[in-house]
Amino acid sequence: MSKEIIAIIGGPSSGKSTLLKKLEENGHVCYPEISREVTKEAQEKGIEQLFLTQPLLFSEMLLKGRIHQFEQANKELHNLIFIDRGIPDILAYMHFIGDEYPEAFHEACLNYKYTKIFFLPIWKEIYVSDQERYESYEQALEIEKHLIDTYKKYNYNVIEVPKDSVENRMQFIMDNLK
Least trusted range by pLDDT, from 23-37, 51-65, 104-118, 130-144: 130-144
Which pTM was predicted?
0.90
Task: State the fold for domain 4-177.
Answer: Rossmann fold (3.40.50)
Sheet holding 4-9, edge to edge: 29-31, 80-84, 4-9, 116-119, 158-160
Q: What is the pLDDT of residue 161?
A: 97
List, for residues 117-174, the tens digit of each pLDDT value.
999 998 766 656 554 456 777 888 899 999 999 999 999 999 999 999 999 999 999 9
Q: Are 16 and 84 in contact (CB under 8 A)?
A: yes
